[in-house]
Amino acid sequence: MTMDYMDVISQHESEVRSYVRGFPTTFAKASGSYMYDTEGRAYLDFFAGASVMNYGHNHPELKKALIEYLSEDNITHSLDMASVARAEFLEAFNRLILEPRNMRYKVQFPGPTGTNAVETALKLARKVKGRDTVMAFTNAFHGMTLGSLSVTGNGFKRQGAGLTLDNASHMPFDHYMGPGTNTLDYIDRMLADSASGIDRPAAVITETVQAEGGVNVADLEWLRGLEKLCRKYDMLLIVDDIQTGLGRCGSFFSFEAAGISPDMVTLSKSLSGYGLPLAVTLIKPEYDIWAPGEHNGTFRGQNPSFVTARRTLELFWSDDAFEQEIARRGKRMAEFLEGLAQRYPQAQGSRRGRGMMQAIEFGHVELAEKISEIGFRHGLIIETAGTDDQVLKLLPPCTTEDADLEKGLAIIEKSLVEAMDELGISRDRAAGE
Ligand SMILES: *Cc1c(COP(=O)(O)O)cnc(C)c1O
């Protein structure tokens, strides 16, 4: 029987479906940096499942570990009962990640998704400090459940809640007020002044690079300043490293370069390494004040996810080879985008990013979406970000081979040229105007 897969999905699945609209084909297989549809057509993946596939699709070593685990009838589901896979993951995480970085965190498994990790951090921060509000930033993205949504900026997503989202105060992220304004000075003033109308928050939650919000990069100095403000006003610092962590921005934790020490850290997306759901909330031991079972959930650490997650730690994080590769590839991506902005000044592109999360924002708002659409026709999966989808976001798997990276970059350039033609943006206006 042949089935029209797309037809079945559009008939039966909710209108809420989204990526299927931008990338309208039915995927069947994937390997490394490529996804293949049912016709066998190859797509070079510059989106990596929004940074879930940092180690590439179906990594052979991870697949081997998973198949072995399953084929031996090892336990799949065990709530939060002790299991071999759980203990082995925790041991490897401490030995390979926390100890070498001189970090001390308790690990909480909050449920399988990113938003579960964020909800957990918000709830625990409120419990620790006994205060209601959490400070969050303009253009932040932290997930879709009510708590996470309340600290998310995007108005379209917020109105989906159907009720007032409160107990959050939104402050300007780094660079939000334009050059020359340090937004921390403003926040400091608001917190210092008991007449500002801002209640003292339990915590501040931030990304180091606002991935969904448009790849807005916080300066390392700003992150250090934010940590100082947290100490000054007795607020916990929560870093949401769900999209920026796990190599994407150059190191395991994206905040390592800033040298800050968050009180809680959320990880998910690429944590299992294989596209299996897994999330953690890391908690400084002194704040781990939960009573047993006070926060609960059925899927808090699936054993198959532990197996592949542990294997990624051994394969990619035993030395600094992977970080060096990311630095090299990220530099190439950044240089390419800088060059692109120079070669096509009429597109008014400006580059930003860290590591292998690189982006270009176009002055012409429709360009990024057009490039994504045309790129797909040329066999490239690439997404946009920002309030108006005006930012083209490059998120190839961090394991992407150099030749494939170049291939993807070439498709971006070709798609930009075609997009400018389609949108009637003149190609021969003088440079530098
Ligand atoms: C994806 C993401 C989330 C939410 O994760 P889900 O698994 O979709 O719930 C939260 N924060 C950041 C920074 C993210 O990128």
pLDDT tens across 83-101, in order? Answer: 999 999 999 999 999 999 9
Question: Do 133 and 270 belong to one domain?
Answer: yes
Question: Measured in angstroms, how far is the CA atom of residue 341 from the centroid of ligand 1?
Answer: 30
Question: Do 35 and 170 belong to one domain?
Answer: no
Task: Reduce the secondary structure of the chain to three states and give it as a string.
Answer: CCCCHHHHHHHHCCCCCCHHHHCCCCEEEEEECEEEECCCCEEEECCHHHHCCCCCECCHHHHHHHHHHHHCCCCCCCCCCCCHHHHHHHHHHHHHHHHHHCCCCEEECCCCCHHHHHHHHHHHHHHHHCCCCEEEECCCCCCCCHHHHHCCCCHHHHHCCCCCCCCEEEECCCCCCCCCCCHHHHHHHHHHCCCCCCCCCCEEEECCEECCCCCEECCHHHHHHHHHHHHHCCCEEEEECCCCCCCCCCCCCCCHHHCCCCCEEEECHHHCCCCCCCCEEEECHHHCCCCCCCCCCCCCCCHHHHHHHHHHHHHHCCCCHHHHHHHHHHHHHHHHHHHHHHHCHHHCEEEEEECCEEEEEECCCCHHHHHHHHHHHCCEECEEECCCCCEEEECCCCCCCHHHHHHHHHHHHHHHHHHHHHCCCCCCCCCCC
Chosen domain end from 260, 285, 316: 316
Ligand 1 within 6 A of CB of 142: yes
Ligand 1 within 6 A of CB of 49: no
Which domain range does residue 42 map to? 5-59+320-423
Question: Measured in angstroms, how far is the CA atom of residue 142 from the centroid of ligand 1?
Answer: 5
Question: Do 353 and 301 belong to one domain?
Answer: no
**Predicted confidence (pLDDT) per residue in 235-260, tens digit:** 999 999 999 999 999 999 999 999 99
How much is the pLDDT for 429? 52
How much is the pLDDT for 1? 62
Question: Do 136 and 89 belong to one domain?
Answer: yes
Ligand 1 pocket test, candidate residues 52, 134, 142, most atoms within 8 A of CB: 142
Considering its fold, how many domains does the chain have in total?
2
The arithmetic mean of pLDDT across residues 109-124, rounded, is 98
Question: Measured in angstroms, how far is the CA atom of residue 249 from the centroid of ligand 1?
Answer: 16
How much is the pLDDT for 2? 78
Q: Is 202's pLDDT higher than 70?
A: yes
How much is the pLDDT for 100? 98
How much is the pLDDT for 112? 97
Ligand 1 within 6 A of CB of 242: yes
Ligand 1 within 6 A of CB of 211: yes
What predicted TM-score, i.e. pTM, was given to this entire model? 0.97
Ligand 1 within 6 A of CB of 141: yes
How much is the pLDDT for 431? 46
429 lies in some domain: no
95 lies in some domain: yes
Chosen domain end from 264, 296, 316: 316
Question: Do 124 and 84 belong to one domain?
Answer: yes
Q: Which atom of ligand 1 is nearest to the CA of 145?
A: 9
Percent above pLDDT 90 for the chain:
96
Q: Is 114's pLDDT higher than 60?
A: yes
Ligand 1 within 6 A of CB of 51: no
Question: Measured in angstroms, how far is the CA atom of residue 345 from the centroid of ligand 1?
Answer: 34
How much is the pLDDT for 428? 57
**Predicted confidence (pLDDT) per residue in 327-373, tens digit:** 999 999 999 999 999 999 999 999 999 999 999 999 999 999 999 99
**Predicted confidence (pLDDT) per residue in 371-427, tens digit:** 999 999 999 999 999 989 999 999 999 999 999 999 999 999 999 999 999 999 976
**Predicted confidence (pLDDT) per residue in 266-325, tens digit:** 999 999 999 999 999 999 999 999 999 999 999 998 999 999 999 999 999 999 999 999
Ligand 1 within 6 A of CB of 115: yes
The arithmetic mean of pLDDT across residues 33-62, rounded, is 98
Ligand 1 within 6 A of CB of 114: yes
Question: Do 329 and 304 belong to one domain?
Answer: no
Question: Do 310 and 333 belong to one domain?
Answer: no
Q: Which atom of ligand 1 is nearest to the CA of 210?
A: 13
Look over the chain and give the mean of its residue pLDDT values, rounded to a whole number: 96
Chosen domain end from 272, 299, 316: 316
Ligand 1 within 6 A of CB of 268: yes
69 lies in some domain: no
How much is the pLDDT for 136? 98
Nearest CA to ligand 1 atom 6: 114
Domain of residue 28, CATH code: 3.90.1150.10
Ligand 1 within 6 A of CB of 120: no
